[in-house]
């Protein structure tokens, strides 16, 4: 080190020596010129001899500059060295920055400890740049993951939508297929499908109807009571239960290679949006599910619940159709019985033309005026159709809802309805004519059928009332009985012996033929029987005598004017106490007009039968079309639900705030911007009142969002752009530009607003 310093001093001293010699020469030349000598060696020697100071003038700069160069060597060298070191540090710094930029460009991470400290602004700036790039990269990865999650969810919903549409013939088939596809799609190692059913005692139980596991025998015939265990608690509370740490007391998942305890167990209620629950799904796996997977399973469970509800509705509809067919068959039998009754009444001397008109009127009334109502097991009215309401003089269902059956009916026995419920529970039903009362106390006679309506467990939970108004028929029947008594008093009667001679004839018959009684006594009956029927009538009488068989039917006679008349007659063999035949009683009434009408009725019945066949064919075609429409509605529902998911995901990052409410002013949807504006911290906002976040009646003047955006507002500004405001945390108004829209799906409504900064 000393040698190095000496060499530096020697170097700078020599440089000072050279500089001093040059300086001295310059001074000598200036001096010679000043004195006036010519510049030459001789002049220098001459001056040196004349004045020694001239030598000093030459040597002094040499010694001074050599000494100064020697003294300035170390500081100057240190300065140069420091400058070079600074330059090297700057170079190294730039190299280091370049290296860090390359590290960031390649995606590697720079450790903060590599920088000099808080004052290293460039280093900290690079570190901040790295953090921002890393954060941006993480955000991109998060968005990519979210996109993958959404795509996975949409594909799963489409898959299970197709499964639910294809396997909807029975709940068991649907459950097995859903479990089979679910374990494949979400990597489940063990799964169970629990369905709410009823046992033999008509009590609700939770029954496992489908499963997936290596140990299937353990899961078969698994029945749980209401509220029992995790499954029962999930169904009772209608909430998802997610266990991320499972104890060793829980079941094992077994395979051919061994067994292990699951890492997570997810129990999801199978429940519709309206809160109707049908069961639960239990899923066990070796992995812990993410939140989006849990939500996906909940969406699948909701779709399953909707499908099960549809299946139940279809089953109930099928059951009601079957009952309707049975009731129609019973009604047909009743009509046939009524037809026979009218035929018997016709045989009992009723005016055929009048009876035919009354029968046709009654038949038309039966086909067009069916009355229907439903009662609870306790006898309270649950539903009545328009025919019931109009007939009994009421305005609507709400006026008579939950009213007791005794308000409408007057049974013969006080405990008639209790006995009816007992019969219904024993799979019987009531059918007969009952007296009813209208709202104004007017009597109604209704031919009634009371049938038990069973639920899907086979238990009668309601009573179905079907009937048709027979008040007029009742009055007509009473009038008819009066007429029958009158007719019986005015029958045409004649009595003959076994030789067909007339032994007695009543006044009605004599008046009918407009003759005297003497003209008939002891005369042969063939004198009044038309020649076309004489042989036939002889055979009828002989059969009555030989076998005692009664004849009821038509016979033709000849009038005094030689006109052919028709009688509807009845022959009765009269015997004595020893069973010997005394005479044959022949009673009849004028059937001439009825006979003519009967021929017309026969032709009309042929036309009616053809029309009934056409109606049946039309009914079958209509039923098939209804089935097709149901399938189309199901497909449309799935498409709407899928589109709804897409639209909500699209609106989530929309720059405008999007808020949607339903008919009850409950929140249906908020995008991220709306959640930010309303300062909502929870994600469980759906179904909560809008008033919880935007009060309805602020004291600030102007168009307030809580007042305008409300289904109670009678003048909704739909389709127009308005300026509205909301209140911030300090109660100050914040103004936005609002556009309001409204959409409908059936009876469901949704009101939406789009808020943007003015």
What domain count does the chain have? Answer: 5
* Phi/psi of residue 168, nearest 5 degrees: -120, 25
pLDDT band at 216 (very low <50, low <70, confident <90, very high): very low
The reply to whether 512 falls in a domain is yes
Structure tokens, 451: 């049938």
Q: What's the pLDDT score for residue 697?
A: 64
Mean pLDDT of 728-736: 81
Mean pLDDT of 158-176: 84
> Domain range spanning residue 201?
167-316
The reply to whether 123 falls in a domain is no
Q: Position of tokens 């069916």?
A: 370
Strand spans (E) along 591-687: 657-661, 667-670
Residue 300 contacts residue 164 (beta carbons within 8 Å): no
501 in the same domain as 421: no
Mean pLDDT of 10-33: 71
- Does residue 562 or residue 434 have the better pLDDT? 434
356 in the same domain as 299: no
What residues contact residue 297 under an 8 Å CB cut-off, 6+ apart?
182, 186, 266, 268, 281, 283, 289
Q: What's the pLDDT score for residue 716?
A: 85
8-12, 157-161, 639-643 — most confident range: 157-161
469 in the same domain as 533: no
Structure tokens, 598: 């009967």
Compute the chain's Rg from CA coordinates: 56
The reply to whether 631 falls in a domain is no
Q: Half-sphere exposure of residue 386, counting CA atoms within 13 Å on the CB side?
A: 1
- Does residue 409 or residue 490 have the better pLDDT? 409
Mean pLDDT of 590-598: 71
Structure tokens, 117: 């400290």
442 in the same domain as 512: no
Residue 277 contacts residue 238 (beta carbons within 8 Å): yes
Question: Looking at the DSSP assignment, which residues form a beta bridge with residue 469?
Answer: 446
217-270 residue pLDDT tens:
344 567 887 778 888 888 888 888 888 776 555 555 555 444 566 778 889 999
Q: By mean pLDDT, which of 211-220, 292-301, 660-669 is the weakest? A: 211-220
Cβ-in-10-Å burial (0-12, 13-18, 19+) of 388 comes to buried
437 in the same domain as 311: no
CATH number of 257's domain: 3.30.450.40
Mean pLDDT of 71-83: 68
Whether 108 shows a pLDDT value over 50: the answer reads yes
Structure tokens, 670: 């908020």
64 in the same domain as 202: no
- Alpha-carbon distance of 393 to 739, in angstroms, equals 48
**What percent of the chain has pLDDT above 70?**
73
Q: By mean pLDDT, which of 61-65, 108-112, 385-389, 612-616 is the weakest? A: 108-112
Q: Half-sphere exposure of residue 248, counting CA atoms within 13 Å on the CB side?
A: 0
99-103, 271-275, 614-618 — most confident range: 271-275
The reply to whether 145 falls in a domain is no
Domain boundary among 537, 569, 590: 590
Domain boundary among 455, 483, 511: 483
372 in the same domain as 301: no
Q: What's the pLDDT score for residue 345?
A: 66
DSSP H or E segment with residue 367:
helix 352-368
The reply to whether 202 falls in a domain is yes
Domain boundary among 446, 461, 483: 483
CATH number of 578's domain: 3.30.450.20
Residues 616-629 as b or e (16 or more Cβ within 10 Å = b): eeeeeeeeeeeeee
379 in the same domain as 457: yes
**What percent of the chain has pLDDT above 90?**
1
- Comparing CA positions, the residue from 225, 386, 206 lying closest to residue 280 is 206
Whether 601 shows a pLDDT value over 70: the answer reads no
Q: By mean pLDDT, which of 44-48, 160-164, 431-435, 551-555 is the weakest? A: 44-48
The reply to whether 278 falls in a domain is yes
416 in the same domain as 529: no
Q: By mean pLDDT, which of 38-52, 454-468, 694-708 is the weakest? A: 38-52
497 in the same domain as 463: no
- Alpha-carbon distance of 147 to 585, in angstroms, equals 100
- Does residue 331 or residue 673 have the better pLDDT? 673
The reply to whether 282 falls in a domain is yes
The reply to whether 626 falls in a domain is no
pLDDT band at 192 (very low <50, low <70, confident <90, very high): confident
423-468 residue pLDDT tens:
888 888 888 888 888 888 888 888 888 888 887 777 888 888 888 8
Mean pLDDT of 310-337: 80
* Phi/psi of residue 66, nearest 5 degrees: -65, -45
Q: What's the pLDDT score for residue 57?
A: 63
Residue 35 contacts residue 46 (beta carbons within 8 Å): no
Residue 343 contacts residue 349 (beta carbons within 8 Å): no
Pairing mode of beta strands 502-505, 492-496: antiparallel
Q: What's the pLDDT score for residue 398?
A: 87
Mean pLDDT of 10-36: 71
Q: What's the pLDDT score for residue 632?
A: 67
618-661 residue pLDDT tens:
677 767 776 776 676 577 667 766 766 766 777 777 788 888 88
Mean pLDDT of 590-595: 72
279 in the same domain as 181: yes
551 in the same domain as 440: no
Question: Looking at the DSSP assignment, which residues form a beta bridge with residue 206?
Answer: 196, 224
- Does residue 371 or residue 49 have the better pLDDT? 371
**pTM, whole model, 2 decimals?**
0.34
- Alpha-carbon distance of 177 to 210, in angstroms, equals 9
Q: What average pLDDT is seen over the chain?
A: 76
Q: Would you call 746 helix, strand, or coil by DSSP?
A: coil
Q: What's the pLDDT score for residue 352?
A: 45
Mean pLDDT of 542-566: 78
Structure tokens, 321: 């159709």
- Does residue 124 or residue 397 have the better pLDDT? 397
């Amino acid at each position: 080190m000393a040698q190095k310093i000496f060499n530096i001093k020697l170097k700078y001293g020599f440089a000072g020596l050279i500089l001093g010699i040059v300086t001295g020469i310059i001074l000598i030349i200036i001096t010679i010129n000043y004195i006036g000598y010519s510049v030459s060696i001789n002049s220098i020697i001459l001056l040196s001899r004349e004045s020694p100071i001239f030598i000093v003038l030459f040597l002094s700069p040499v010694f001074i500059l050599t000494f100064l160069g020697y003294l300035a060597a170390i500081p100057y060298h240190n300065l140069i060295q420091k400058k070079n070191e600074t330059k090297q540090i700057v170079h190294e710094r730039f190299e280091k920055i370049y290296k860090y930029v390359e590290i960031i460009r390649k995606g590697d991470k720079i450790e903060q400890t590599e920088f000099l400290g808080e004052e290293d602004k460039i280093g900290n700036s690079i570190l901040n740049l790295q953090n921002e790039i890393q954060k941006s990269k993480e955000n991109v990865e998060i968005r990519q993951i979210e996109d993958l999650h959404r795509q996975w969810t949409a594909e799963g919903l489409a898959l299970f939508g197709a499964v639910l549409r294809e396997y909807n013939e029975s709940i068991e088939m649907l459950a097995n297929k859903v479990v089979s596809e679910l374990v494949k799609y979400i990597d489940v190692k063990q799964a169970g499908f629990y369905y709410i059913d009823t046992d033999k005692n008509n009590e609700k139980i939770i029954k496992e109807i489908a499963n997936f596991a290596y140990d299937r025998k353990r899961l078969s015939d698994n029945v749980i009571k209401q509220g029992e265990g995790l499954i029962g608690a999930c169904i009772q509370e209608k909430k998802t239960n997610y266990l991320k740490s499972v104890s060793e007391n829980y079941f094992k998942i077994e395979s051919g290679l061994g067994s292990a305890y699951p890492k997570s167990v997810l129990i999801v209620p199978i429940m519709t949006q309206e809160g109707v629950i049908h069961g639960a799904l239990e899923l066990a796996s070796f992995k812990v599910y993410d939140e989006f997977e849990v939500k996906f399973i909940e969406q699948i469970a909701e779709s399953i619940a909707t499908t099960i509800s549809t299946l139940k509705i279809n089953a109930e509809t099928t059951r009601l159709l079957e009952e309707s067919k049975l009731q129609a068959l019973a009604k047909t039998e009743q009509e046939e019985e009524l037809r026979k009754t009218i035929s018997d009444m016709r045989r009992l001397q009723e005016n055929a033309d009048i009876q035919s008109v009354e029968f046709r009127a009654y038949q038309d009334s039966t086909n067009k005026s069916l009355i229907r109502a439903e009662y609870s097991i306790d006898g309270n009215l649950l539903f009545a159709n328009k025919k019931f309401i109009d007939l009994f003089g009421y305005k609507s269902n709400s006026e008579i809802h939950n009213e007791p059956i005794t308000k409408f009916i007057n049974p013969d026995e006080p405990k008639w309805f209790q006995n009816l419920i007992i019969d219904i529970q024993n799979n019987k039903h009531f059918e007969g004519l009952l007296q009813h009362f209208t709202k104004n106390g007017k009597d109604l006679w209704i031919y009634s059928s009371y049938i038990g309506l069973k639920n899907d467990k086979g238990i009668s939970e309601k009573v179905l009332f079907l009937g048709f108004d027979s008040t007029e028929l009742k009055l007509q029947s009473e009038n008819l009985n009066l007429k029958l008594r009158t007719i019986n008093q005015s029958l045409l009667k004649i009595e003959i012996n076994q030789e067909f001679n007339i032994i007695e004839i009543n006044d009605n018959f004599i008046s009918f033929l407009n003759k005297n009684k003497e003209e008939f006594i002891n005369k042969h009956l063939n004198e009044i029987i038309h020649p076309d029927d004489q042989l036939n009538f002889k055979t009828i009488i002989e059969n009555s005598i030989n076998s005692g068989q009664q004849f009821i039917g038509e016979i033709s006679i000849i009038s005094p004017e030689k006109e052919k008349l028709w009688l509807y007659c009845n022959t009765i063999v009269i015997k004595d106490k020893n069973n010997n035949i005394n005479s044959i009683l022949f009673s009849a009434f004028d059937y001439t007009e009825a006979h003519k009408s009967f021929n017309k009725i026969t032709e009309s019945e042929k036309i009616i039968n053809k029309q009934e066949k056409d109606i049946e064919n039309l009914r079958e075609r209509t039923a098939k079309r209804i089935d097709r429409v149901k399938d189309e509605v199901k497909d449309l529902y799935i498409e709407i639900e899928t589109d709804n998911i897409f639209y909500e995901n699209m609106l989530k990052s929309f720059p405008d705030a999007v808020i949607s409410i339903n008919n009850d002013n409950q929140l249906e949807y908020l995008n991220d911007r709306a959640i930010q504006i309303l300062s909502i911290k929870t994600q469980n906002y759906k179904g909560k009142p809008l008033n919880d976040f935007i009060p309805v009646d602020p004291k600030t003047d102007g168009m307030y969002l809580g007042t305008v955006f409300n289904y109670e507002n009678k003048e909704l500004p739909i389709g127009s752009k308005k300026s509205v405001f909301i209140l911030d945390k300090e109660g100050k108004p914040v103004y936005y530009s609002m556009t309001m829209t409204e959409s409908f799906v059936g009876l469901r409504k949704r009101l939406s607003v789009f808020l943007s900064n003015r």
